């Protein structure tokens, strides 16, 4: 059974929300994620349930079926592969690729995407540090934490971002923070939990708004 562009966007949204909550995905959460009216979301959820992509119980919430999960992960795979292609081969910056990849992710040629994966030498992560699912829908998880949870005196490496908006990525560029950047935590302010670091040999400070949107792994 075919799936429309709009249905794909719903499935992707449900998948992303489900990764951050232990409960069923609510209609309101979906409406907020895709900027739609709750009544429109309800109508679409009924269609997706009829097609077997989700289980939907009114007033309780939504869960992806295995069919729905694999469809969502396939869309995410295409999106992230296209982001790698745009950055590595067409010299886009990491803050430019999201909107273009949003359009390219709906191309329905499995051969094209598999050839793209081969052409790019099977990348495991996109330019924002997010893992790229393989063709079987498997995702390699990284042991990471939000930077705001880091400990004073320890060294960390930036491995991803929570906020992939153009404004946030440009902020990181301005402060020379990229995937792979190493940070040594110097201090955490008791008052507002802002943090100070050594980055590339220079001392920097960041608000909790910023550190809440950067993923890191501990090096030492």
DSSP helix/strand/coil, 19: coil
Pick out the chain residues at pLDDT < 50: none
Determine the distance from the C-alpha atom of residue 88 to the mean position of all C-alpha atoms in its chain, rounded to a whole number: 19
Nearest CA to 93 out of 81, 107, 108, 83 is that of 83
Domains delineated in the chain: 5-64 (1.10.10.10), 145-218 (2.30.30.90)
What pLDDT sits at residue 194?
Answer: 96
What pLDDT sits at residue 141?
Answer: 83
What pLDDT sits at residue 1?
Answer: 62
What pLDDT sits at residue 26?
Answer: 92
Cβ contacts of 52-60, under 8 Å, gap ≥ 24? 52/1, 53/3, 53/7, 53/11, 54/11, 54/14, 57/24, 60/24
């Amino acid at each position: 059974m075919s799936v429309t562009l709009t249905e794909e966007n719903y499935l992707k949204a449900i998948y992303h929300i489900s990764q951050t909550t232990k409960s069923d995905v609510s209609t309101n959460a979906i409406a907020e994620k895709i900027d739609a009216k709750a009544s429109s979301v309800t109508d679409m959820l009924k269609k997706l349930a009829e097609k077997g992509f989700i289980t939907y119980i009114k007033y309780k919430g939504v869960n992806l079926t295995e069919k729905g999960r694999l469809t969502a992960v396939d869309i995410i795979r295409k999106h992230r592969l296209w982001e790698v292609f745009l950055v590595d081969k067409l010299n886009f910056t990491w803050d430019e690729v999201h909107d273009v990849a949003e359009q390219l992710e709906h191309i329905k040629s499995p051969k094209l995407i598999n050839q793209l994966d081969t052409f790019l030498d099977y990348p495991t992560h996109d330019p924002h540090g997010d893992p790229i699912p393989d063709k079987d829908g498997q995702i390699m998880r990284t042991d990471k934490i939000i930077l705001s949870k880091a400990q004073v005196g320890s060294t960390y490496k930036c491995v991803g971002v929570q906020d992939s908006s153009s404004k946030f990525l440009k902020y990181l560029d301005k402060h020379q923070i990229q995937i792979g950047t190493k940070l040594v935590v110097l201090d955490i302010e008791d008052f507002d939990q802002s943090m100070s670091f050594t980055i590339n040999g220079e001392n920097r400070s960041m608000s909790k708004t910023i550190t809440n949107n950067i993923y890191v792994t501990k090096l030492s």
